[in-house]
Amino acid sequence: MKVLKSPFLNLALLLLVLILFFNSFFQGEKIAYVQSNKLLTEYKASEQAKKAYEEKSKVWQSNIDTLTKEIQQEIKTYEQTASKISSTEKVKSRKLIDEKRKQLYQYQRSIQGNAQEEYAKATQPVVTKINDFLLEYGKDHNYTMILIANPSGTIAYAKDHLDITDAVLKEMNDQYQKDLKK
Radius of gyration of the chain (CA): 31
Question: Closest Cα partner for 132 from 115, 152, 146?
Answer: 146
Residue 52: count of CB within 10 angstroms of its CB: 13
The rounded distance, in Å, linking the Cα atoms of 2 and 13 is 14
Residue 167: count of CB within 10 angstroms of its CB: 13
Task: Express each pLDDT in 53-82 by its tens digit.
Answer: 999 999 999 999 999 999 999 999 989 998
Domain limits of the chain? 28-181
Residues 6+ apart with CB under 8 A from 33: 146, 147, 148, 149, 155, 158, 162, 163, 164, 165
Task: Express each pLDDT in 141-160 by its tens digit.
Answer: 999 999 999 888 778 788 89
In this prediction, residue 3 carries a pLDDT of 47
Bridge partners of residue 34, in order along the sequence:
148
With a cut of 60, say whether residue 18 has pLDDT above it: no
Question: Closest Cα partner for 159 from 147, 171, 144, 168?
Answer: 147
> What size, in residues, is the chain?
182
Model-level pTM?
0.67
